[in-house]
Each structure stands twice: as C-alpha cells, then as structure tokens.
Structure 1
Amino acid sequence: MTSQSELFRTPGPSLPDGARLRTVATVHGLITFTLARSRRRSIGFVIGSEGLRVTAPYWVSLKQIDEAVLEKAEWIQKKLDFWRQRNETADQAQQSWLACTQLPYLGTTISIDIDAGARQARFDGDHFAPQVQDTLWLALPAEASAAQRRAAAAHWLQTQAQQYFDLRIHVLANNAGLQFQAWRLSRARARWGSCNSSGSIRLNWRLIHFTPDIIDYVIAHELAHLKQMNHSERFWQQVGMILPGYEAAMQKLKTTDMSALPALQA
C-alpha cells in the first residue's frame, strides 16, 4: 500500500549543492526528505510545498538525524499532509482555470470564459447588479495559460472594485457629512480596510467578491475612524450612524477566511 508521504511531492531532481535525498521509516509511514549540511549548531526542519528539508551540522551523524526525524515524525507527517492537500488544491485550481470556471463577484457567482477575438474583457451583465447567468469574457488567446487567465480576471475585478468602491464611499461619506482625504485599493493579505490619522482610507480590492452590504460595512467602518481612531463604544455608535443595521454584515464578514477566496494574482 502506498503511504500518504509517498504521495506527497518529493523534492525535484535538481538538489542544492551537497544535498541528498534520505528516507526514514516511521510508524506514520515513510518520510523522504532533502538533507543538507551547514555550520548551524542544531538540526533544523523546514516543511513547504516541496516537502521536508532537514539541515544538520557537519558533525551530526546520519543516525542522529534519523532519530531526530523519528522523534518529530507525527508533527512532520501532519505538516506534510497539510502541504499535500494544499498542493492538490492548487493543482485542481490550475486545471479549473484551463477550462471555464466561476468567480464570486458582488456576492453572485459569475462564469468566466475566453473570447479570443476581443480586444478587452467584457461582462455581459449589469456591472453593479450581476446575475448568476452572467459571464465575464476575457480577451485572451484560446491557449492562454492558467496564470494568464487568473491575472486577467484579477485585473478586471480590481477595475470594478475601483469604480464600485469609489461610488459607495462617496455616497456613505456624503450622507454622514464626513470628508476623507483620499482612498485607494489595498492588496493586504490580512486586512479588509484601514484609515490613518490623516484621513486616508484603504479598501481591500478582494471585497469585490462580497455582497454590497458587506462592502458598505467595511467602508462605514473606515469612515467611522475619521471621528474615532479606536474601537470604543463611541466608534461603534459612529458606524451605526453611517450605516444603520451594520451588525449582520459585520457578523458575516467575521466568518470569512481570506484564504478561502479564489486564488487570483493581485
């Protein structure tokens, strides 16, 4: 029977100078790793998309290295399983981008396809009121790679985010009698928005995946910081003044993991 670690991507044939492949049998299955030597004082473990890399001092014996791997076998196998699943998900995403795929846009799932004869991307629905049957046509050759398709889709989404967020931030600010210095799109990996003391606001472009109520909540949240640079009771009162009934959208956003969003190039 093939073990899970054997199914995991092993290091490629091009190894770093002086490195070698080594396999240790553990109760959790075979663990194959790249072994490299260095002047470090202890044995180091690094696990990533290519598997396990062990770096050990020159004076440490192979037996000691194997024993160190055995000691951490359960932890190593869990990490390898995590990266194996992540690699499989990435491979599936790569394949889906080579055919028709779908994306969440303003809370609706739209289709993505190719129009090899077009000069620019086009959307066959209402840009700010999409329906499930709508399609985004990317102006790419039929043989375009998955990376090209992802990049083209991301560019279109960012363009829509720029236009839609600009509309909504001005509407909400004007209704609340607030003035901000400037705003721009953000590509942050862990924040939906920000506002600094000078009144400059940043909004994560990936909010364009979500429903309008969530987008409005994030905008209202950042606008409220123009009055309260904190999260005090007064701050939340300010959010409520800008966007009454914001609580439902806030709760929905709290349950969203950024890593669950489509893998697009930003």
Structure 2
Amino acid sequence: MTSQPELFRNSSPNLPDGLRLRTVATEHGLITLTLARSRRRSIGFVIGTEGLRVTAPYWVSLKQIDEAVVEKAEWIQKKLAFWRQRNAVADQAQQSWLACTQLPYLGTTISIDIDTGSKVPRFDGDPFSPQTQDTLWLALPHDATAEQRSAAAAHWLQTQALHYFDLRIHALANSAGLQFQAWRLSRARARWGSCNSNGSIRLNWRLIHFTPDIIDYVIAHELAHLKQMNHSDRFWHQVGIILPDYEAAMQKLKTTDMSALPALQT
C-alpha cells in the first residue's frame, strides 16, 4: 500500500488543540485524517480542501473510529482524489498569476500583464472587439501578489461586462418590443441568468468570457421570461423571436462547466 499524497492545505502536524492526525490502513490504501472529539451522537465525515476530518463522540473508541473509516474507505478515497485534483488545479492557477497569463474574453484569448507606471488598467485593443494579440495591462506594482492580480483582472472584466451587457440587453429588448424593469450583474455559481416576475433580470458576469452569440442567447432567454415564466413551447418560440437561430449558442453553453472558467478573486 502507498501513503496518501500530501496535497491538502493543512498537511502540517501543527494542529490546533483538540485535533490529532491519525492514519488508518484499508484495502483501498492508507487514509490520513484529522480527528476531533465532540458531544455529537455519531461519527461524522467531512472531506474538503484540507482533506478528511472525522468528528467523533467522546465515548467512541479509536477502534470504532478506524472501523468506520475502513467501512467508508472506497468513498473516502474517491472524495480525497477529487479534492487533490481540485487543489492541484487551484495551485496551478495561483502560480500562473505570478507571471504573465491569459484569459478568455468575449470568446478571444487575451494576454494579461502589469504596467507599474499606470494608475488605471488599460486595454490595448477594441474592448468590445478583442483580438488574440491584445493585452490587458493591470495597474499594479511589480511585486503584486497572485490574489491582487486576479482581483484586478476580475474587476476589469466585471466593468466590461456591465457596459457590454447593457448595450446588448437594450438592443435585443428594443428589437423585440420588450420592456424590462431593471437588470444587474450576478455572481451566481450555478446560473447564467435569471428573470423574476417583476421584470428584473440578472446576468452572470462570467458570461463576458464567452463569444457574443452565447451572451446574446442568455440575454434573449431571460427576456423571453418577460412573456413566459416557464420553459414551454411558447417560451422557446419567444426566444426565437428575440434571437433567431439561437439553438447553436444554446448547445455550446450546455457543454460549458462553470468550474472550468478561470479562478478569479472577486
């Protein structure tokens, strides 16, 4: 059996008082965990960025805890593998921000760099018609941290999203003779857009990574809800009135996982 890879955030043995590291041998490999005691009535398992944490009642013996880990070993190892991969991707993304990097913007890959002599960010191309050779220059010191670079890029992208989406939502609404109450940016983790019964629309700012046809589709989708607060045939007919030939953009968006987008500080 091989030991569990040390790819978790809190792999140091310097744990807070009341916590202890423990390793359990199972047929699925060694499992290292952080053990905590509490007044809870049963053994609890939590797997996340810092690995496996087991919380057990004071009266449960170590042997019983080990047996519970062995029983759930296959599930535990699958979850640990998922979080190791997620942590590795996050670490890689973090490191990439320490050097010149790239970002998808309106369907094009632009470069990101730092201009230490500038007080505001600048884009050396057409902000609404970017080209692959264009660069976003962040107004940061040369020793800016990865978090500062990421946050500055996210702020610029959100500003561009605010302006670009505003142009498109008014253009599409006007062409279809529709009126909405208001709209704003969203930071939702699992939704590209929404529209409530009061006519207020929210658009996920991360849509700014995508091509204009996908952005138009999401906007048309939410505008159609002004007429049909459902996904009936009448609703999709309304989407087609607002944006003919929307199907290709819809299919492209369906294959996009939000977790695959750049990990930006917001």
TM-score range, shorter chain: over 0.9
Q: Any gaps of 5 or more consecutive residues in structure 2? A: none
Corresponding residue for 2:7? Answer: 8
CA contact (8 A) 1:8 1:81 kept: no
Corresponding residue for 1:73? Answer: 73
1:74 Cα deviation after fit: 1.1
Tell whether 2:140 aligns with 1:140: yes
Corresponding residue for 1:255? Answer: 255
TM-score by length of structure 2 reads 0.96
Letter in 1 for 2:137: W
Distance in structure 2 (CA, Å) of the matches to 1:80 and 1:223: 42
Distance in structure 2 (CA, Å) of the matches to 1:34 and 1:258: 31
The 5 A counterparts of 1:121-200 are: 121-200=121-200
1:2 Cα deviation after fit: 5.1
Distance in structure 2 (CA, Å) of the matches to 1:255 and 1:106: 17
Corresponding residue for 1:52? Answer: 52
Distance in structure 1 (CA, Å) of the matches to 2:74 and 2:226: 50
- Which has the larger displacement, 16-25 or 54-63? 16-25
Give structure 1 regions of 4+ aligned residues with deviation exceeding 6 angstroms: none
CA contact (8 A) 2:2 2:29 kept: no
Distance in structure 1 (CA, Å) of the matches to 2:132 and 2:249: 21
Letter in 1 for 2:231: H
TM-score by length of structure 1 reads 0.96
SS of alignment partner, residue 110 of structure 1: strand
Distance in structure 2 (CA, Å) of the matches to 1:2 and 1:100: 37
SS of alignment partner, residue 188 of structure 1: coil
SS of alignment partner, residue 16 of structure 2: coil
CA contact (8 A) 1:172 1:242 kept: yes
Letter in 1 for 2:46: V
Corresponding residue for 2:201? Answer: 201
Tell whether 2:64 aligns with 1:64: yes
CA contact (8 A) 2:2 2:30 kept: no
Percent identity over the alignment is: 85
Corresponding residue for 1:116? Answer: 116
Deviation track 1:50-84 (CA, whole Å, cap 9, x = no partner) reads 11111111111111111111111111111111111
The 5 A counterparts of 1:78-117 are: 78-117=78-117
Q: Any gaps of 5 or more consecutive residues in structure 1? A: none
1:8 Cα deviation after fit: 3.2
Deviation track 1:138-178 (CA, whole Å, cap 9, x = no partner) reads 00001000000010000000000000000011111111111
Letter in 2 for 1:8: L
CA contact (8 A) 1:56 1:65 kept: yes
CA contact (8 A) 1:6 1:31 kept: no
